Amino acid sequence: MRSTIKQGRDIVTLINVFTVEPKNQQRLVDILVEATEKTMRHLPGFISANIHQSLDGACVVNYAQWRRREDFEAMLKQPEALPHMKAATEMATAEPRLYEVVHVDNVEE
């Protein structure tokens, strides 16, 4: 399983930075993986979720791709998404923001 970052794709990118106590980092990862598998991936417009844990233990990032901004906003109102979001924000502060890819440089391709 892989995700692709590419300029000019007609999608939106959510980068959600969670700040967490290191002792809770693994649990937060588990919550985000479960939220992705059980709920998010089944919603309209979902393309990908890519969960990252920081080497220093202090953060978790979800780098997610949605077809349209409206799909992401509709997800926020889905009743089945709420318990996952509540569980995550109870143990971490979340800073979600939508982005557009403006430049990609890769020496391997």
- Which two three-digit tokens encode residue 3? 């995700």
By CB under 8 A, the residues from 62 to 91 that bind its own copies are: 63, 69
**# of chain residues touching its own copies (CB under 8 A):** 46
Half-sphere exposure for 63 (CA within 13 Å, toward CB): 10
Tell me which stretch binds its own copies (CB under 8 A): 47-55, 73-81, 82-90. 47-55
Does position 3 bind its own copies by CB under 8 A? yes
Nearest C-alpha neighbor of 14 from the set 59, 65, 88: 65
Q: Report CA 40 to chain centroid distance, whole Å.
A: 10
Minimal CA–CA distance to 60: which of 104, 6, 96?
96
Residues recorded for the chain: 109
Does 109 bind its own copies (CB under 8 A)? Our answer is yes
Binding residues for its own copies, rule: CB under 8 A, are 1-7, 12-13, 15, 17, 29, 32-33, 36-37, 41, 46-56, 58-59, 61, 63, 69, 97-109
